[in-house]
Chains A and B, each alone.
Chain A
Amino acid sequence: MRVTPSFIQRLNKVSKGHVIADPERLSVYETDGLTAKKQRPGIVVLPETISEVQSVMRLCHSFEVPVVARGAGTGLSGGAMPHEDGVLLGLSKFNRVLSVDTANRTALVQPGVTNLAISEAVRSHGLYYAPDPSSQIACSIGGNVAENSGGVHCLKYGLTVHNVRKLKIVSPSGELYELGGDGLDSPGYDLLALMHGSEGMLGIVVEITVDLLPLPESVCVVLAGFDEVGGAGEAVGEIIAEGILPAGLEMMDNPAIRAAEAFASAGYPVDAAAVLLCELDGNAEEIAAQLIRLKAVLEKNGATTVREAFNEADRQQLWQGRKSAFPAVGRIAPDYFCMDGTIPRRELSGVLTAITNMSKRYGLGVANVFHAGDGNLHPLILYDANDPAQLEKAESFGAEILTLCIEKGGTITGEHGVGVEKLDQMCLQFSEEELSLFHAVKDAFDGKGLLNPGKAVPTLHRCAEFGAMHVHHGETRFPELERF
């Protein structure tokens, strides 16, 4: 079905004053953070209350109109790309922190609240919300649930799924239900976990209870520069082997260091082949003891510069370079593709070398910024979208990186989601039977297939057309052939 005049008339009744149909205003919503993919929505609704969301969903359900939920629109895989014949359900008006429970260390928030706003709202209680995607100033917590977002602190504190206790959800047919509970576990299947990272395919999240942590007594950030990428990669493994579990462990290669330094003046060593940023938190005595061991590991692996920052301003400065790496890279090339593969940490050096070789072969620059502690890579492929040949090359380059990640026993997406961007690579990572099960899961929640159709899980037909072979633990069909 599509957005018909009679549907619009009904929509205007249930969502009075909250409907956008003017083509010019609709184009504001045509893309999310994946700007290479654009689609003007059929119509936009910006509801204000849960019951209004329910009414909109009931209406869409009876008219069989597709619905795409949107938070802040910062997603990087096109998960919130609109449907041309559907409703774009914007949750930006759900922007309040409803309550903070300090005794149980939880906060009840609406889905449109930004990630950073939660931590700001509870800071005066000595608490914070741990997951911190680099877009935290803008991205919404509802979107974080949909994508199961990570961030620089997830090695120690986990992803969104590890920090959410309860969800209130509106079903495709407009029913309101809860998953999770006030306690630490709830009866039945773990649908709370299933909802995380489901990319708006299973339900509309309208309220979220997040767990809060006490602000650490003390925090220290260490910046280490290396002459060789390999040394930095080795150091990552050895820090973990030493029994140190840093709050964050990030790595950047030389192109990323240069871009970030030019953008943020964080004091990074611009001649280094790689830098590691390592954050330790806990009580002061604990950090002092860990710092000695950490520095020994860094030096043993060839760190040429080591800088420590204890006070808030110095720490923020060091993080600023890393957190502004994406916009910084945006300044050195007209466009970039941000990849999101995850690999076992031991493969770091090898995969980075392979990416450098691909970069030469495709004739496109690449800057690497990543969550080294988690093995989550973010190669940024630099290109110019105005040159169709470059766009095509960039897409092939990205696809090749993702295929390599699967071959190394990893995954095509660690935290950005599949969206519309990585549908083809899903055919590589999963077998036909596994994809069929995913479709069956979707069907259990959304029998009419109205929520975010065409995203996250490719149809078997698409995979057949893509001609993909499922890569299983690096066992490709022709292992004897060299793969560049």
Chain B
Amino acid sequence: MVDSDLIKQLADEVREQSAIARPIDIVGGGSKAFLSSGRLENSYQLALSEHRGVISYEPRELVLRARAGTPLAELNALVDGEGQILAFDPPDYGTSTLGGTVACGLSGPRRPFTGSVRDFVLGIGAITSSGVYHEFGGQVMKNVAGYDVARLMTGAFGTLGVLADVSLKVLPKPEREVTLMQEVTHDNLRSRMRGLRNSGAPLSGLMASQNILYIRLSGTEIGVRAAAADIGGEEVMGDHWALAATQRLPALVSAKQLWRISVSSDNPMHMKDAALVEWGGAVRWLSDPESIPRLESAPSWLFRNEEDGGPLERMPPLPEYVKRLHQRLKKAFDPICIMNPDRMYRGL
């Protein structure tokens, strides 16, 4: 597919729908449709996949700016060629795009060690519901002029505007990367993870599923070798991390419902019954239909729902005051409520 800049056309489309107050359904690669609470009746589908291509990439600046429809796979290949990485490890569900990844705020296994997608977002270009293109943030490492709208729109599921382009900070690719595998019991998983997190080892991934602990180390050849010898375990090849990032590990792949629970890394909750303990302990994935994580103290997302008649709300509930702030912000950016309405929360 050829690169093209469709910003004018996209803005026109938004303006036309805005004039008749028709809801807009923003679609990138369509790979994360499963995250949505469903499409609205009579909505206009705004396709971003042809608004694609790299706008600028200067490896020395550690900055990459690309249009929202650019496939993640292309970006990964591009930065890899320059000895760099997208350090939040964006999960690629096959046809995932940059815009969709940023809009959904998804980060992969490296998240606890190098940062989340919003940590690497330097700026965005977005079309708000009036059909006007705005730029927030920029292509420099530090920028505190004005409110941080770029990070506000990251993970907002397109409800505040259409992400048209994104500027990301990239990082040098580690010289060496090694994945170690160790057997672990339910009883010692928590202390094992804690020990590794606090060891100072150059971790870039730490997860456990089905009594196997996976440890990824990244850094200089010599540093990784020293840490690997220290930690021990069997060195393994394979794409465990990419599979985990997209919920395709054996323990998760066939689950009809998947709950994702965010906790502090050392929290004992679901340490033993989770299908996957990810992010060094900070995320627990549950596939057991008997679990009712909604009633628990930690925020839980219904990440996958292939059951009929399951709960409609996919996102954890918001406290009342924070919910009101969301509604007011939505009104500030999208007063007629046409941008991906109900995609995140009802009425938002």
A pairs with B? yes
In the complex the two chains form, is A285's CB within 8 Å of B222's CB?
Answer: yes
Binary interface profile of A, 244-267, with partner B (CB < 8 Å = 1, else 0)? Answer: 110000000000000000000000
Return the contact of A283 from the options B226, B282, B332 (Cβ within 8 A). Answer: B226
| A181 in contact with B299 given A194-B151, A438-B147 (CB within 8 Å) | yes
Binary interface profile of A, 361-379, with partner B (CB < 8 Å = 1, else 0)? Answer: 0000000000101111000
In the complex the two chains form, is A410's CB within 8 Å of B221's CB?
Answer: no
Binding stretch for chain B, among A110-118, A310-318, A413-421: A413-421
Return the contact of B175 from the options A159, A189, A243, A371 (Cβ within 8 A). Answer: A243
In the complex the two chains form, is B116's CB within 8 Å of A184's CB?
Answer: yes
Return the contact of B142 from the options A126, A175, A374, A434 (Cβ within 8 A). Answer: A374
Q: How far, in angstroms, from A343 to B143 measured CA to CA in the complex?
A: 10
How many interface residues does B have (CB within 8 Å)? 84
In the complex the two chains form, is B134's CB within 8 Å of A431's CB?
Answer: yes
In the complex the two chains form, is B299's CB within 8 Å of A191's CB?
Answer: no
In the complex the two chains form, is B118's CB within 8 Å of A444's CB?
Answer: no
Beta-carbon nearest neighbor of A162 in chain B: B119
Q: Which residues in window 140-169 of B have CB below 8 A to A?
A: 140-149, 151-152, 154-156, 160
Q: Is B347 an interface residue (CB 8 A)?
A: no
Q: How far, in angstroms, from A158 to B112 measured CA to CA in the complex?
A: 14
In the complex the two chains form, is B115's CB within 8 Å of A162's CB?
Answer: yes
Contacting residues, chain A, for B154 (C-beta < 8 A): 190, 193
Contacting residues, chain B, for A105 (C-beta < 8 A): 197-198, 265
Taking the closest CB of chain A, its distance from the CB of B268, in whole angstroms, is 11
Q: Is B319 an interface residue (CB 8 A)?
A: yes
Q: Is A224 an interface residue (CB 8 A)?
A: no
Contacting residues, chain A, for B199 (C-beta < 8 A): 214
Return the contact of A241 from the options B59, B202, B325 (Cβ within 8 A). Answer: B59
Q: Which residues in window 368-424 of A have CB below 8 A to B?
A: 371, 373-376, 409-418, 422
Identify the interface centre among A104, A147, A290, A374: most chain B CB within 10 Å of its CB. Answer: A104
In the complex the two chains form, is A343's CB within 8 Å of B318's CB?
Answer: no
In the complex the two chains form, is B141's CB within 8 Å of A374's CB?
Answer: yes
Contacting residues, chain B, for A216 (C-beta < 8 A): 200
In the complex the two chains form, is A243's CB within 8 Å of B83's CB?
Answer: yes
Q: How far, in angstroms, from A178 to B267 measured CA to CA in the complex?
A: 19
Contacting residues, chain B, for A373 (C-beta < 8 A): 141
Beta-carbon nearest neighbor of B279 in chain A: A184
In the complex the two chains form, is A414's CB within 8 Å of B140's CB?
Answer: yes
Q: Is B211 an interface residue (CB 8 A)?
A: no
In the complex the two chains form, is B298's CB within 8 Å of A183's CB?
Answer: yes
Return the contact of A346 from the options B58, B155, B156, B326 (Cβ within 8 A). Answer: B58
Total CB contacts across the A-B interface at under 8 A: 252
Contacting residues, chain B, for A243 (C-beta < 8 A): 83, 172-173, 175
In the complex the two chains form, is A148's CB within 8 Å of B60's CB?
Answer: no
In the complex the two chains form, is B315's CB within 8 Å of A187's CB?
Answer: yes
Taking the closest CB of chain A, its distance from the CB of B89, in whole angstroms, is 13
Q: How far, in angstroms, from A411 to B323 measured CA to CA in the complex?
A: 32
Identify the interface centre among A182, A184, A282: most chain B CB within 10 Å of its CB. Answer: A184
Return the contact of B266 from the options A104, A217, A342, A375 (Cβ within 8 A). Answer: A104
Beta-carbon nearest neighbor of A442 in chain B: B147
Q: Is A286 an interface residue (CB 8 A)?
A: yes
Return the contact of B143 from the options A147, A217, A413 (Cβ within 8 A). Answer: A413
Contacting residues, chain A, for B115 (C-beta < 8 A): 158, 162
Q: Is A119 an interface residue (CB 8 A)?
A: no
Q: How far, in angstroms, from A189 to B332 measured CA to CA in the complex?
A: 14
Contacting residues, chain A, for B61 (C-beta < 8 A): 240, 344-346, 375
| A186 in contact with B325 given A283-B227, A344-B63, A441-B149 (CB within 8 Å) | no
In the complex the two chains form, is B147's CB within 8 Å of A187's CB?
Answer: no
Contacting residues, chain A, for B192 (C-beta < 8 A): none
Taking the closest CB of chain A, its distance from the CB of B161, in whole angstroms, is 10
Q: Which residues in window 214-233 of B have CB below 8 A to A?
A: 219-223, 225-227
Taking the closest CB of chain A, its distance from the CB of B183, in whole angstroms, is 23
In the complex the two chains form, is A416's CB within 8 Å of B144's CB?
Answer: yes
Beta-carbon nearest neighbor of A199 in chain B: B144
Contacting residues, chain A, for B160 (C-beta < 8 A): 189
Contacting residues, chain A, for B262 (C-beta < 8 A): 181-186
Identify the interface centre among A103, A150, A162, A185: most chain B CB within 10 Å of its CB. Answer: A185
In the complex the two chains form, is A434's CB within 8 Å of B134's CB?
Answer: yes
Q: Is B181 an interface residue (CB 8 A)?
A: no
Q: How far, in angstroms, from A150 to B143 measured CA to CA in the complex?
A: 10
In the complex the two chains form, is A415's CB within 8 Å of B226's CB?
Answer: no
Beta-carbon nearest neighbor of A345 in chain B: B61
Taking the closest CB of chain B, its distance from the CB of A144, in whole angstroms, is 11
Q: Which residues in window 285-328 of A have CB below 8 A to B?
A: 285-286, 288-290
In the complex the two chains form, is B141's CB within 8 Å of A434's CB?
Answer: no
Contacting residues, chain A, for B227 (C-beta < 8 A): 283
Q: Is A443 an interface residue (CB 8 A)?
A: yes
Q: Which residues in window 62-114 of A have CB below 8 A to B?
A: 101-106
Return the contact of A457 from the options B146, B226, B323 (Cβ within 8 A). Answer: B146
Return the contact of B145 from the options A188, A376, A429, A443 (Cβ within 8 A). Answer: A429
Q: How far, in angstroms, from A126 to B325 measured CA to CA in the complex?
A: 39
In the complex the two chains form, is A411's CB within 8 Å of B298's CB?
Answer: no
Taking the closest CB of chain B, its distance from the CB of A127, in whole angstroms, is 9
Taking the closest CB of chain B, its distance from the CB of A196, in whole angstroms, is 6
Return the contact of A245 from the options B118, B171, B197, B267 (Cβ within 8 A). Answer: B171
Q: Is A31 an interface residue (CB 8 A)?
A: no
Q: How far, in angstroms, from A457 to B61 measured CA to CA in the complex?
A: 29
Interface residue ranges, A against B (CB under 8 Å): 101-106, 126, 147-148, 150, 154-155, 158-159, 161-162, 171, 175, 177-179, 181-191, 193-194, 196-198, 202, 214, 216-217, 237-238, 240-241, 243-245, 282-283, 285-286, 288-290, 342-346, 371, 373-376, 409-418, 422, 426, 429-431, 433-435, 437-438, 440-445, 456-457
Interface residue ranges, B against A (CB under 8 Å): 58-63, 83, 105, 111-112, 115-116, 118-119, 128, 132, 134-136, 138-149, 151-152, 154-156, 160, 171-173, 175, 194, 197-200, 202, 219-223, 225-227, 262-267, 279, 282-283, 298-299, 301, 315-319, 321-323, 325-326, 328-329, 331-333, 344-345
Task: Show 27 A/B contacts (Cβ-Cβ < 8 Å), sorted by A.
Answer: A102-B198, A105-B198, A184-B262, A187-B316, A189-B152, A190-B118, A193-B151, A193-B152, A240-B60, A241-B59, A282-B219, A283-B223, A283-B227, A285-B222, A290-B220, A374-B140, A409-B140, A410-B138, A411-B140, A414-B141, A418-B145, A430-B145, A435-B146, A437-B332, A438-B147, A441-B149, A457-B147
Contacts A193-B154, A437-B128, A441-B329 supplied; 17 other A-B pairs, CB < 8 Å: A148-B148, A161-B119, A177-B319, A184-B283, A188-B323, A188-B344, A189-B152, A194-B148, A197-B147, A197-B148, A243-B173, A285-B223, A286-B202, A346-B58, A413-B143, A415-B144, A438-B147
6 closest A-B pairs by beta carbon, nearest first, are: A183-B262, A286-B223, A440-B332, A444-B328, A414-B142, A193-B151
